[in-house]
């Protein structure tokens, strides 16, 4: 094979690849604004290589015209570089105004080179005819180099201002540009009077591939899939060539003289053509195989994207279940039931169920055994996609619930601060009313004082519940404290029994502990004061790890309906009370690391148990 033929094959391969890449880049230009300019660069390289082929084929005039169009290659690349490194969606105004002028100058240089005999044909090593620059053609070459330097200066500026994938792409362009400069150096050998064969130009196909791949590999993911397939087929081609070389060496020893006489180059050519034919037939054969194995299956990327976008719009389990069933039913043209953890539908023959387990989410298909493999495949793919959306929805609902609780907590804090402020402000007008009542009739004054005392108690309860609890703990003698509380109550004939050891001490806030028993005794007296044989009993039980204090009364039992919210504010409100008594008791007990509970199984209709845990031994849960 002559060197001229090798040169032609290299130029043809470069030109063909450049045309294909230019078309592909133009399609990508709908999403990547810089790609059309790069497509122009690839198209001009195809014409430039075609010019060299024309000269070798003795179409000298056509070849010279195409080669002298050389400046448009770096011009398109400069245009691409300006768009690629521009940090905004458009090129800066001054560069946008400069580009038409540069294109005009480039065309002027090309036309001047054409009419000024800027190129000629000469014989050089390995060629009967090869292009050389002459006269005004050197201006063509100088201008081409100048545009290339400007394009790389723009890239250098882009490398300084960008980071991440954009910066990696710029580095790849520099490396590919250096490789292209090394290859193109041999193009000017004959013009400089060097009778050398331009071996580096044989590698020009690699320059174009390296440049385009370096530019778009970080920007267009599709090119990475294309490169992956290209490397796969290239590896297979090299493997076939190696196997054919081995087979060619063994054919003579196996007695196949006719096959052994076939030149190795022809065997390699046939093998390469066979492999290329296989690559061309791969897609239609694969599609036919899918239709045979999965009849009825018509999955595609647009369909999956539509499913994904629709499912992601759901904000509840019921909406997700209904939409998922509607989407798959429309695709399969038969009813499909979807069941999720907190939503479901009426039954049908085909079921998809998504379950949350300890290991994570999983799906189950029920009733799909009798459908075609294609429908089964669509069900599996849709279920996997639905499972992904279940995970996303679960996380979004958790975040929404956490945000709701945060806002509720913030609202309660604000409401508590407002209540405390209002309670303080109410005491001023109450004091004025009390002083004004001093001059009224005795009966009226007594009635006013009773209502003022009630209002003051309501304010005290509101402040206790809304304010912050700051405990001042010390050792409290429980029996003496209870005797003091009992002496403050108006028993009105109610019998009260005290059964607490004299030596019993509690580490607690004395004032807050008295408040607990005052509230409990007020409640007990309110319910059993109007009945005969009313009794209240205060007693204690000391254990190894805890102290229990009991407040029993024989008043009416608390209705079952009130028990779940017994210690909630404004739920267990008695006549004349604030509705905060038991809520304050629970809050004070929790501040002590203790707890309070209601019981009716201790021989009394109503019992409240206060449990204090030994602080030296830690808090215990019962």
Which residues, other chains included, contact 99 with Cβ-Cβ below 8 Å and sequence gap of 6+? 79, 82, 91
Chain CA centroid to CA 304, Å: 18
pLDDT surpassing 60 at residue 27: yes
Question: Mean pLDDT across the chain, nearest whole number?
Answer: 80
Q: Is the separation of the CB atoms in 68 and 30 below 8 Å?
A: no
Query: Where are the domain boundaries for CATH 1.20.1070.10 in the chain?
Result: 3-219
Strands of the sheet with 336-339, listed across from one edge: 336-339, 350-357, 360-366
Report the run of H or E that residue 435 belongs to, with start and end. Answer: helix 373-436
Residue range 593-603: mean pLDDT, rounded: 91
State the pLDDT confidence band at 617, using cuts at 50, 70 and 90: very low
pLDDT surpassing 60 at residue 343: yes
Closest by CA position to 129, among listed 52, 185, 62: 52
What is the Cα gyration radius of the chain? 46
Q: Is the separation of the CB atoms in 611 and 546 below 8 Å?
A: yes
For residue 274, give Cα distances in angstroms to 244, 447, 575.
12, 112, 98
The pLDDT assigned to 221 comes to 45
The pLDDT assigned to 619 comes to 36
Report the run of H or E that residue 539 belongs to, with start and end. Answer: strand 535-542
Instruction: Specify the higher pLDDT residue, 592 or 429.
Output: 592
- What pLDDT, in 10s, does the model give residues 166-217? 788 788 888 887 788 788 778 888 888 888 888 888 888 888 777 766 665 5
pTM for this one?
Answer: 0.44
Residue range 120-139: mean pLDDT, rounded: 90
Helices and strands (H and E) in the chain: how many:
18, 12
Chain CA centroid to CA 564, Å: 41
Query: What CATH number was assigned to the domain covering residues 471-613?
Result: 3.30.565.10
- What pLDDT, in 10s, does the model give residues 305-326? 888 888 888 888 888 888 888 8
The pLDDT assigned to 9 comes to 85
State the pLDDT confidence band at 607, using cuts at 50, 70 and 90: very high
Could you give the CA distance from residue 68 to residue 149 in angstroms, rounded to a whole number? Answer: 19
Could you give the CA distance from residue 22 to residue 39 in angstroms, rounded to a whole number? Answer: 4
Determine the straight-line distance between the first and last CA of the chain, rounded to whole angstroms: 95
Query: Where are the domain boundaries for CATH 3.30.565.10 in the chain?
Result: 471-613
Q: Is the separation of the CB atoms in 135 and 116 below 8 Å?
A: yes
The pLDDT assigned to 490 comes to 81
Q: What one-character DSSP code corresponds to residue 340?
A: B
pLDDT surpassing 70 at residue 219: no
3-state secondary structure of 330: helix
State the Cα angle at 318 between 316 and 321, rounded to 5°: 110
* Ranges assigned E (strand) in 282-344: 336-339
pLDDT surpassing 50 at residue 620: no
- What pLDDT, in 10s, does the model give residues 482-512? 999 898 888 888 899 999 999 999 999 998 8
Q: Which residue bears the tokens 């090299």?
A: 238
Closest by CA position to 43, among listed 212, 220, 223: 212
DSSP conformation letters of 498-510: EE--TT-EEEEEH
DSSP conformation letters of 38-49: HHHHHHHHHHHH
Which residues, other chains included, contact 14 with Cβ-Cβ below 8 Å and sequence gap of 6+? 45, 46, 49, 204, 205, 208
CATH topology of domain 3-219: Rhopdopsin 7-helix transmembrane proteins (1.20.1070)
Could you give the CA distance from residue 482 to residue 510 in angstroms, rounded to a whole number? Answer: 11
- What pLDDT, in 10s, does the model give residues 370-396? 777 777 888 888 888 888 888 888 888
What six digits make up the tokens of 353? 């169920």
Q: Is the separation of the CB atoms in 588 and 469 below 8 Å?
A: yes
The pLDDT assigned to 51 comes to 92
Residue range 58-62: mean pLDDT, rounded: 91
């Amino acid at each position: 094979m002559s060197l001229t033929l090798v040169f032609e094959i290299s130029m043809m391969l470069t030109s063909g690849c450049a045309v294909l890449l230019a078309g592909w880049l133009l399609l990508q230009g709908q999403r990547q604004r810089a790609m059309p300019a790069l497509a122009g660069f690839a198209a001009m390289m195809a014409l430039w290589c075609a010019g060299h082929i024309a000269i070798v084929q003795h179409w000298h005039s056509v070849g010279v015209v195409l080669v002298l169009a050389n400046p448009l290659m770096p011009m398109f690349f400069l245009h691409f570089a300006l768009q690629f490194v521009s940090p905004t969606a458009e090129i800066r105004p001054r560069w946008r105004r400069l580009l038409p002028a540069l294109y005009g100058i480039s065309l002027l240089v090309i036309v001047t080179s054409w009419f000024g005999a800027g190129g000629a044909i000469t014989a050089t090593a390995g060629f009967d005819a090869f292009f050389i620059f002459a006269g005004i053609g050197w201006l063509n070459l100088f201008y081409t180099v100048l545009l290339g330097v400007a394009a790389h200066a723009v890239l250098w500026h882009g490398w300084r201002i960008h980071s991440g994938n954009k910066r990696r792409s710029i580095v790849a362009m520099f490396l590919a540009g250096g490789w292209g400069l090394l290859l193109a150096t041999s193009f000017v050998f004959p013009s400089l009077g060097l009778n050398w064969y331009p071996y580096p130009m044989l590698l020009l196909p690699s320059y174009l591939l390296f440049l385009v791949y370096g530019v778009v590999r970080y920007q267009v993911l599709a090119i990475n899939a294309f490169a992956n397939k290209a490397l796969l087929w290239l590896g297979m081609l090299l493997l076939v060539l190696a196997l054919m070389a081995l087979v060619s060496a063994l054919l003579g020893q196996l007695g196949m003289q006719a096959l052994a006489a076939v030149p190795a180059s022809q065997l390699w050519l046939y093998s390469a053509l066979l492999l290329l034919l296989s690559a061309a037939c791969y897609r239609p054969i694969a599609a036919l195989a899918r239709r045979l194995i999965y009849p009825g299956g018509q999955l595609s990327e647009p369909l999956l994207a539509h499913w994904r976008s629709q499912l992601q719009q759901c904000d509840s389990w019921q909406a997700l279940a209904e939409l998922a069933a509607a989407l798959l039913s429309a695709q399969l043209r038969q009813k499909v039931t979807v069941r999720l953890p907190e939503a479901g539908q009426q039954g049908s023959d085909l079921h998809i169920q998504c379950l949350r387990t300890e290991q994570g989410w999983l799906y189950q298909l029920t009733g799909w055994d009798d459908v075609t493999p294609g429908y089964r495949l669509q069900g599996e793919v849709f279920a996997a996609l639905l499972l992904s959306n279940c995970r996303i929805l679960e996380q979004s609902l958790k975040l929404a619930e956490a945000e709701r609780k945060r806002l509720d907590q913030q609202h309660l804090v604000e409401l508590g601060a407002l209540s405390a402020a209002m309670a303080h402000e109410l005491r001023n007008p109450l004091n004025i009313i009390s002083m004004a009542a001093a001059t009224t009739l005795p009966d009226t004054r007594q009635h006013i004082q009773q209502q003022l005392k009630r209002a003051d108690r309501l304010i005290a309860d509101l402040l206790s519940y809304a304010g912050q609890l700051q405990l001042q703990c010390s050792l409290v003698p429980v029996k003496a404290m209870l005797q003091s509380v009992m002496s403050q109550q108006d028993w009105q004939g109610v019998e009260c029994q005290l059964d607490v050891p004299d030596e019993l001490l509690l580490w607690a806030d004395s004032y807050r502990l008295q408040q607990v028993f005052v509230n409990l005794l007020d409640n007990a007296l309110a319910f059993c004061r109007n009945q005969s044989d009313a009794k209240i009993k205060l007693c204690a039980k000391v254990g190894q790890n805890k102290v229990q204090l009991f407040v029993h009364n024989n008043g009416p039992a608390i209705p079952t309906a009130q028990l779940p919210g017994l210690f909630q504010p404004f739920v267990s409100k008695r006549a004349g009370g604030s509705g905060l008594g038991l809520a304050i008791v629970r809050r004070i007990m929790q501040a002590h690391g203790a707890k309070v509970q209601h019981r009716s199984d201790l021989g009394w209709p109503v019992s409240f148990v206060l449990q204090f845990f030994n602080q030296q031994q830690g808090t215990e849960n019962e």
